[in-house]
Amino acid sequence: QEEAQAIDQELFTEYKFSVDQLMELAGLSCATAIAKAYPPSSFTTSQPTVLVVCGPGNNGGDGLVCARHLKMFGYEPTVYYPKRPSKPLFEGLTTQCQKMDIPFLPEFPAEAAFIDELYGLVVDAIFGFSFKGAVREPFGSILSTLERITAPIASIDIPSGWDVEKGKADGLQPDMLISLTAPKKAAMHFTGRYHFLGGRFVPAALQQKYALNLPPYPDTDCVLQLT
């Protein structure tokens, strides 16, 4: 976890990347990976509907960007975003989604069965690699519900609720994981079908410094399928 935070720090302070830049590239990677693994034609629901659950921090921001690109790719995303930071970055991302007619749910579906009926896929953008400590409401209840759905879940960076290094055997078991920048230790405990790498912006010098040993991305793609 500290290494991931150290890499981020260098990208922001030494390389002068803005959070906006990296979040946009990260969110685009997520949408691209989803489009590769779950093309709209593969959905069993009548429309390719996707529920994007956004948490209170940067992982939630990645989710908002992802939702916007999913819309561009022909999906029908709906966002649930209960705790919104009052920072221009997140307010801007929210506006961009709203102006693209992406609905924001006023409340979380009460039962797992409702989610399964309405959506062909759920994107878990609740907690990322900075997550520590106890899960606060409303996310505790949200995660309990998500643990009971049968629709596939795609988690951004870390399955929410998992310990960033050790995982969580009785927690969320997503079908897809999109690791951003580099896979985190928790990814070793991932047992879903699809593991993608996204966030193709780490300069070679940083990759070497932190011995990331990332396999090469194909061509000009912004995602790499690991499994």
Partner 1 sequence: VPISSRQAFPLPSLPRKQPTVLVVCGPAQNGAIGLVCARHLRIFDYEPTIFYPKRSPDPLYRDFTTQCEKMDIPFLSYLPTEVQLINDAYNAVVDAVLGAEAEAGEGREPCATILATLKHVRIPIVSLDVPSGWDVEAGSSGGISPDVLVSLSAPKRCARRFLGRQHFVAGRFLPYDVQKKFELNPPEYPGTECVVAL
Residue 80 — φ and ψ, nearest 5°? -120, 120
How far apart are alpha carbons 161 and 156 in whole angstroms?
A: 12
For position 99 contacting partner 1 by CB under 8 A, the verdict is yes
Q: Assess 123 for contact with partner 1 (CB under 8 A).
A: no
Residues 125-184 that bind partner 1 (CB under 8 A): none
12 or 108: whose CB is closer to partner 1?
A: 12
Q: Out of 6, 9, 14, 208, which residue is the one contacting partner 1 (CB under 8 A)?
A: 14
Nearer to partner 1, 74 or 85 (CB): 74
Q: Does residue number 91 form part of the binding site for partner 1 (CB under 8 A)?
A: no
Residue 36 in tokens: 């590769």
Nearest residue (CB) to partner 1, 72 versus 113: 72
Give CA–CA dist 179/183, Å, rounded. Answer: 5
Position 195 contacts partner 1 (CB under 8 A): no
Sole window of 42-50, 84-92, 125-133, 198-206 interacting with partner 1 (rule: CB under 8 A): 198-206
CB-neighbour burial class of residue 23 (10 A; exposed 0-12, middle 13-18, buried 19+): buried
Please name the residues in contact with 85: beta carbons below 8 A apart, sequence gap of 6 or more.
56, 57
What token pair was written down for 11? 């990208």
Assigned token pair, 130: 């900075």
CB of 182 to partner 1, least distance (A): 15
Residue 118 DSSP SS3: helix
The smaller minimum CB distance to partner 1, of residues 14 and 111, is found at 14
Which listed residue (6, 100, 105, 188) binds partner 1 by CB under 8 A? Answer: 100
- Check whether the bond before 152 is cis (ω within 30° of 0): no
Span near partner 1 by CB under 8 A; candidates 1-9, 11-19, 134-142, 166-174: 11-19
Q: How far is the CB of 1 from partner 1 (least distance, A)?
A: 24
Contact 137, 160 (CB under 8 A): no
Burial 48-74 (b: 16+ CB within 10 A, else e): bbbbbbbbbbbbbbbbbbbbbbbbeee
Q: Which is nearer to partner 1, 134 or 204 (CB)?
A: 204
**Nearer Cβ to partner 1 (66/172):** 66
Residue closer to partner 1, measured from CB, 112 or 206: 206
Q: Report the interface residues with partner 1, using CB under 8 A.
A: 14-18, 24-25, 28, 31-32, 35-36, 69, 72-73, 96, 99-101, 200-201, 203-205, 219-220
